[in-house]
Structure 1
Amino acid sequence: MSETNRGRLADHTTLRLGGPTDSLVEATDRDRIVAAVTGADAVGEPVLLVAGGSNLVVSDEGFRGVTVLLRSRGVTVTDDADHVEVTVAAGENWDALVARSCAEGWSGLEFLSGIPGSAGATPIQNVGAYGQEISSVFRHTDVLDRHSGEIRRFTGPECHFGYRDSVFKHARDRYVVLEVTYRLAKSPLSQPIRYPETAAALDVAVGETVPLAVARQTVLTLRRGKGMVLDPSDPDTYSAGSFFINPVVDTARFDAVAAAATTTPPHWRVDGGVKLSAAWLIGQAGFRRGYGHDGVAISGKHLLALTNRGEGSSKALLSLAREIRDRVEERFGVRLRPEPTMVGIDW
């Protein structure tokens, strides 16, 4: 475990935004993560956990406290006749794990290809894309409970997974994910395709399966076309991914949105109501790709991503985000919520 003072958080986020922190601690294994966090807690120092930095918006003022960089590594595999259980350290690169699962013939993560960040973040957000969610393959996670100082194991039901949601998302100051175990099917084929865009790109019907490598490459191509695969040469990837969560509304609000737009919006029936496309709402509110100011802009490839064009600030990014939020709410009565974690920022 190494420590440096006054690190710049912009160097550790995919947005390349964020002010200084009082100290940076690099924790390279599970025990060092626990020691760094409990040590800071013992003296009353605030703690910020950073792994891939792909889901963080940090204020220009930065973070007053200890920033712990999660750099733990390790993948352990156990198997039975039909499945493997893969236990992954929190700091492991997520897409590297997905690539390995496809190469090894482990089915269940293939449509989550290309998502930046670490394995430890996946149960917090119940990470999902193209019809696949972590909750469908999640076995359990070991976490540090900062209230008791103990290591606890959470199974799926105890995580209370929802759409981009879990018990950990609402208790970020309490739980530190240390490792995650996934249960994956032994199969050369993908899970059934649930997302129409993916099915169309593959030229198959929803519900069909395809070879894992084909599923992965198709998703990578789709994400790359939206600027959602990290590429240092492409400023559209200096983002936190999808900035807004697709909102879930009741039937009355859905009907009101359709009436205001004079067309039926793209939608999905889900538990709790109707899920709308945040990107569609943003477009219908009059925003276009590339729109921006003060060094930040909507991605040139996708309306859901807000990007730092190289000379932006967190203040400018939040100004743009609030402009989008307010205009969508004025037009449709739907208030968009941000997907990234906000540090030192009031939404």
Structure 2
Amino acid sequence: MPVPEVATRLAPLTTLRLGGPARTVVAAPSAEAVVEAVRAADTSREPLLLLGGGSNVVIADEGWKGTVVRIASTGRAVEHGENGSVVLTVEAGEDWDGVVAACVADGLGGLECLSGIPGRTGATPVQNVGAYGVEIAELLLDVDLYDRGAGVVREHVPAEELGLGYRTSALKGRDDAIVLRVRLALSTDATSAPIRYPELARTLDVEPGSRVPAAAAREAVLELRRGKGMVLDATDHDTWSAGSFFTNPVLPEAEAPEGAPRWPAGPGLVKVPAAWLIEHSGFRRGHPGPGGRVALSDKHVLALTNRGDGTTADLLALASDVRRGVQERFGIELVPEPVLVGCRI
């Protein structure tokens, strides 16, 4: 059953360490408890906010005038299939990097390039989490959902029904379908997915398309992420962020800025790095926001960081400055990647 929590401050529950209080916070240690807590809020017409690891969310300084359900369900199960494949079932509240680490340790391949990403497993299909050439969409079989409108749990909803796209899905930006658990198809050969990302291939000293031991790929990914301040560290303000704050724009090839790196993104389309656009609009690493209380990371311009005493208003002011600068320089409007709760830019 849901467990009421004494503390209602939301800032400590987010990786940005920002956000005001909630009226009520309850922890849901199982899928059943999640459903029970959501039904209770719906019955009482209480505004509801679902929170996992708090890694991809920006919460207003005013907080949340309602109930926050913190998804804390845990559990993993492996089911062996044919041809050396397995189905991994994971509860929504499991720490994502813990899942990846356990898979690599157990000789399961496929998730290693998604190492070091903070947050909970249930958020991975919502965001279609991806990094270093791999997306959840490639591995996801199906999910179990709580359908708030119908008041029922829907089991084994196929990945094909989730509208998975670049850092998005049909689940993003809505709270009427709540992920309770996910199922992923992995391999048992302890070998990575093909290394597609050029930076990762260089780090591993292999040709793009090569496969390497999953453990080696994980360590290389963690090394790269640490160098960009993208692995959580409570003592390092460069990691007090929501990860990449803006998505990489997908543009018609003819509209991509001259000299910008680009990758194919569909017929006639290319993906351009938001970091390149930001840097070439005059924003450097460490660029400060209001009063220096927030800043672009010292390691990566795509991360907006809380330097310890910032506010959400400070962070959004910095984000607005960056987005306006890119718009003025290139005519491209950057799109925020985190979910904005009670606020906007």
Query: Which TM-score band (shorter chain)?
Result: over 0.9
Of residues 275, 279, 288, the one that matches 1:279 is 275
Moved more, 185-194 or 57-66: 185-194
Identity fraction in percent: 50
Please give the residue correspondences for 1:5-16 in structure 2 after superposition, counting only pairs within 5 Å.
Answer: 7-16=8-17
1:107: how far off? Answer: 1.0
Aligned AA (1:246): N
Q: Once the two structures are superposed, what CA deviation does each residue of 1:7-46 show, in whole Å capped at 9, x if it has no partner?
A: 0110100000000111001111011100000110111111
TM-score where L is the length of structure 1: 0.96
Query: Contact 1:188/1:212 (CA < 8 Å) preserved in 2?
Result: yes
Aligned AA (1:232): A
1:346: how far off? Answer: 2.3
Partner residue in 1 for 2:178 = 176
Partner residue in 2 for 1:115 = 117
3-state DSSP of counterpart to 2:327: helix
Q: Once the two structures are superposed, what CA deviation does each residue of 1:128-147 show, in whole Å capped at 9, x if it has no partner?
A: 00000001010100010111
Distance 2:229 2:216 in 1: 20
Q: Does 1:313 align with 2:311?
A: yes
Q: Does 1:198 align with 2:200?
A: yes
Please give the residue correspondences for 1:94-173 in structure 2 after superposition, counting only pairs within 5 Å.
Answer: 94-153=96-155, 154-170=157-173, 172-173=174-175
3-state DSSP of counterpart to 1:180: strand
Distance 1:344 1:59 in 2: 5
3-state DSSP of counterpart to 1:297: strand
Aligned AA (1:167): A
Aligned AA (2:133): G
3-state DSSP of counterpart to 2:122: helix
Q: How many residues align?
A: 339
List structure 1 segments (4+ residues) > 3 angstroms apart after TM superposition.
none
Distance 1:165 1:150 in 2: 24
Aligned AA (1:48): L
Distance 1:53 1:73 in 2: 16
Aligned AA (2:192): S
Partner residue in 2 for 1:265 = 260
Partner residue in 1 for 2:337 = 339
3-state DSSP of counterpart to 1:65: strand
Aligned AA (1:314): T
Distance 1:23 1:229 in 2: 30
Distance 2:263 2:254 in 1: 15
Aligned AA (1:318): L
Aligned AA (1:155): P
Measured on the aligned residues, the alpha-carbon RMSD in Å equals 1.0
3-state DSSP of counterpart to 1:107: coil
Query: Contact 1:5/1:22 (CA < 8 Å) preserved in 2?
Result: no
Query: Contact 1:37/1:68 (CA < 8 Å) preserved in 2?
Result: yes
Specify every segment of 5 or more residues in structure 1 that has no aligned partner in the other structure, as ranges.
259-263
3-state DSSP of counterpart to 1:292: coil
Partner residue in 2 for 1:52 = 53
Distance 1:167 1:241 in 2: 21
Partner residue in 2 for 1:261 = none
1:339: how far off? Answer: 0.5
1:5: how far off? Answer: 5.9
3-state DSSP of counterpart to 1:317: helix
Aligned AA (2:8): G
Partner residue in 2 for 1:63 = 64
3-state DSSP of counterpart to 2:20: coil
Q: Once the two structures are superposed, what CA deviation does each residue of 1:41-97 show, in whole Å capped at 9, x if it has no partner?
A: 111111111111001100000011100011101101100231110110100000011
